[in-house]
Amino acid sequence: MSVSSPTTAPSFGAVMSTLAALLLGYASMQMGNTLQGTLLGVRGNLEGFDAAIVGFVGAAFWAGVVAGSLRAGALIRRVGHTRTFAALAAIASTAALLHLLVMHPIAWIATRALTGFCFAGLFMTVESWLNAAATAENRGRVLGLYGMAGLVAGIGGQMLLTTVDTAGFAAFCIVAVLISLALVPVAVSGASAPAHAVGEARIDLIGLYRGSPFGVVAAALCGFTTASFFALAPLLLANGGMEGSGIAFVMASATLGGFLMSWPMGRLSDRMDRRIVAVSMAGVAAIVLPLLVNMIPADAGLIVICACAAIFGASVMPTYGIVAAHVNDTVQPGDYVSAAGGLLVLQGLGATLGPILSGAAMSAAGAMGLAVAMAAAQALVLGWGLWRMRQRPAPPPEEKGSFAIAPAVPVGTALHPEVDAEAEAA
């Protein structure tokens, strides 16, 4: 009588061989996404849009992200991962070109909201696919490569702005090409799509607030600050006479500064009350932001401005990952998926409101208006965190999970190892 051998989990190399095409497609669309975000601020300046209008354009993207995060899962469940990816990538590619066809603020706002919806669905598709292919033993490494691919592609997308004339049509065409090319590796890959569609997370913002009042407020304010910067800083720099290549270096410096500080600050938060780390960084940001704007002379060189942008990124962008880790410390294992969805919605709401209010402040007071608006959001994180630490102690060390780098303004669902382990156990 033959005895069947137990099924062994695929090795990390085997998993990555099946995911390589998916990650390549993800990197291509992320390059197009980041290039488009910076390009719109620069081109908006050339078209004569003021800061308030550019703020609404930036806010529309995040409003679309929130809507897509809530609705795209149903599309994946209905038609599957591959068809969803193809449809949304095609629409997002078309939307990039629509900015050229209709140079009007209302059209840009509507098109940008459509783009946000598409990218929310695209990232949900990619992350669900990664979840299905990875195992409990290698999911952390898959997550790390996914994050690194997004970082490298994001910086690469910013740097593409140095190669094109932002006053012409070529930059928008490159965005459309990059998003369209994301379809190729996914379509020709031999890897099969997940057999099970995305689950529908129960989002309970009231319950999330009861579990972590600090996390709920801080997540929204993180979205407010970072979305304000990425929507309006390109316009601010263009108004000051900086060329597209210089703007690309500044935006890439902010991203890189935030990434480099995420890991050490996250590891520090593993060893103490995470709220202490978060409010400390918020306090630094609240002081540094207006000072940086005031200290940069009108004739400052590119290196000085890039260094200031890196300081901004280092003091603001890691906060979201720490806040997300704090929230996960306070919820039950069965509520990880709900918490991830709730944080995403809160981030999106803050990111929608941020460019609108910050754009109005920038229209009224210029560069200092933008800096003060972002600093005020960070001051609220500081004040609220200090108050909450007086009301509730930190979770005991044995209830704390490990920190994982998370984007400052996440798009899609969280690829969280503990969430996936919970799903596998079920």
Report the candidate in 117, 77, 88 with the shortest Cα–Cα distance to residue 200.
77
In a domain? residue 116: yes
CATH classification of the domain holding 72 = 1.20.1250.20
Per the structure, the complete domain to which residue 280 belongs is given by 17-425
Kindly report the pTM of this predicted structure: 0.83
How many angstroms separate the most distant Cα atoms in the chain? 84
Residue recorded with tokens 């933008």: 370
In a domain? residue 8: no
In a domain? residue 27: yes
**pLDDT tens, the chain, 426 aa long:** 444 445 566 666 666 667 788 889 999 999 999 999 999 999 999 999 999 999 999 999 999 998 988 888 788 888 888 888 999 999 999 999 999 999 999 999 999 999 999 998 898 888 777 777 766 666 667 766 777 788 888 889 999 998 888 888 999 999 999 999 998 888 777 666 666 655 555 677 888 888 889 999 999 999 999 999 999 999 988 888 888 889 999 999 998 888 888 778 878 887 888 889 999 999 999 988 888 777 666 667 889 889 988 988 888 888 888 888 888 778 776 666 677 678 878 988 999 999 999 999 999 998 899 999 999 999 999 999 999 888 877 666 555 555 455 555 444 344 444 444 444 444
In a domain? residue 340: yes
Number of domains, the chain = 1
Radius of gyration of the chain (CA): 21
Both structure tokens of 280: 């400390």
Number of H helices, E strands in the chain: 15, 0
Backbone dihedral region for residue 86 (phi beyond 0: left; psi -120 to 50: alpha; all else: beta): alpha
Using an 8 Å Cβ cutoff, are 355 and 227 in contact?
Answer: yes
Give the C-alpha separation, 321 to 283, whole Å. 17
In a domain? residue 10: no
The DSSP line for 292-344 is HHHHS-TT--HHHHHHHHHHHHHHHTTHHHHHHHHHHHHS-GGGHHHHHHHHH
Give the C-alpha separation, 93 to 86, whole Å. 11
Residue recorded with tokens 């999911």: 139
In a domain? residue 11: no
Both structure tokens of 287: 């002081």
In a domain? residue 282: yes
In a domain? residue 347: yes
